[in-house]
């Protein structure tokens, strides 16, 4: 399913969860529960040893995933398992550039096309250096990020080249940092709207369903990573927590 096929009459709930945390089988079960209980799009983490954009909670989870032996190959196999279990919503892979280069860009894109991946987020890959990846991606969207510090000229360039949705970073910093949202978010959204009609999803710093609903009033959806990982990772019933979380956030965003 493509992101463009989603109904934009309600706000999107986009949880993030890394495959392999706390172990591979549990992570597959958790992602399935999120997908089947309210997530509109799912951002699946491909763990990397140097995740520059991630805060301590996500870094801890991805390090555990790596210690459990997660790889790009196992990640793709797990996504295929999710598709086999009836997960049909758009799945977006989030990861870093070096593992994709090591795996082989053409090979990687062939594999993600076969499992119906709806987009890629590669936070350490500047648009100017994405030519090789874009050349093989074809119609698979590269989701680009706009930050509070992004100049207007750069926003226009990113908006014109983005696909799927535009990832609007709500703070200056890393995920889960607890900083207040940038005061210029409404201005940033207005600027993006001048150049693109893609959905705008706001991420970083959203740690409750109430905050998600308030944030989504500004845009088309919210991305929730640190809060999801922390709640699930601290539970003895990760699938139950994932189910409840998805229902809570989905309900708040549809009111």
CB atoms within 10 A of CB 209: 21
Residue 172: what pLDDT?
A: 60
Lowest-pLDDT choice from 126-135, 164-173, 175-184, 214-223 = 175-184
Range 156-179 burial, b when 16+ CB lie within 10 A, else e: bbbbeebbbbbbbbbbebbbbeee
Residue 183 has pLDDT above 80, yes or no: no
Residue 174: what pLDDT?
A: 46
The answer to whether 27 and 239 have CB atoms below 8 angstroms apart is: no
Residue 181: what pLDDT?
A: 62
Task: Please state whether the predicted TM-score (pTM) of the whole model is above 0.85.
Answer: yes
Residue 78: what pLDDT?
A: 98
- Among residues 32, 40, 54, 220, the one annotated as catalytic is 54
Residue 178 has pLDDT above 70, yes or no: no
- Among residues 32, 43, 139, 220, the one annotated as catalytic is 43
Q: Per residue in 204-243, pLDDT tens?
A: 889 999 999 999 899 999 999 999 999 999 999 999 999 9
Which has more pLDDT, 149 or 174?
Answer: 149
The DSSP 8-state label assigned to residue 225 in this structure reads -
- Spatial distance between the Cα atoms of 12 and 164, rounded to a whole number of angstroms: 13
- Spatial distance between the Cα atoms of 63 and 50, rounded to a whole number of angstroms: 9
Residue 180 has pLDDT above 60, yes or no: no
Residue 49: what pLDDT?
A: 82
Q: Is 54 a catalytic residue?
A: yes
Average pLDDT, the chain: 93
- Spatial distance between the Cα atoms of 153 and 196, rounded to a whole number of angstroms: 14
Q: Per residue in 73-85, pLDDT tens?
A: 999 999 999 999 9
Residue 171: what pLDDT?
A: 75
**54 band by pLDDT with thresholds 50, 70 and 90:** confident
Structural domains of the chain in order of their starting residue, each with its CATH number: 8-254 (3.20.20.70)
């Amino acid at each position: 399913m493509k992101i463009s096929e989603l109904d934009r009459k309600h706000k999107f709930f986009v949880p993030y969860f890394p495959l392999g945390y706390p172990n591979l089988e549990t992570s597959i079960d958790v992602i399935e529960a999120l997908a089947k209980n309210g997530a509109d799009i799912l951002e699946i983490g491909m763990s990397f040893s140097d995740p520059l954009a991630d805060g301590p909670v996500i870094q801890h989870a991805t390090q555990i995933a790596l210690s459990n032996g997660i790889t790009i190959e196992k990640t793709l196999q797990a996504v295929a398992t999710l598709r086999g279990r009836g997960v049909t919503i758009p799945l977006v892979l989030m990861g870093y550039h070096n593992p994709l280069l090591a795996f082989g860009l053409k090979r990687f894109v062939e594999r993600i096309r076969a499992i119906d991946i709806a987009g890629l987020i590669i936070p350490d890959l500047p648009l100017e250096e994405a030519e090789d990846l874009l050349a093989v991606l074809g119609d698979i969207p590269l989701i680009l990020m706009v930050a509070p510090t992004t100049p207007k000229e750069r926003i226009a360039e990113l908006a014109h080249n983005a696909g799927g949705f535009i990832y609007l970073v709500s703070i200056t910093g890393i995920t889960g940092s607890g900083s207040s949202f940038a005061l210029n978010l409404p201005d940033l959204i207005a600027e993006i709207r001048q150049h693109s009609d893609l959905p705008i999803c706001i991420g970083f710093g959203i740690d409750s369903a109430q905050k998600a609903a308030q944030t989504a009033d500004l845009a088309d959806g919210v991305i929730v990573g640190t809060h999801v990982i922390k709640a699930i990772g601290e539970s003895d019933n990760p699938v139950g927590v994932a189910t409840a979380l998805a229902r809570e956030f989905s309900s708040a965003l549809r009111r």
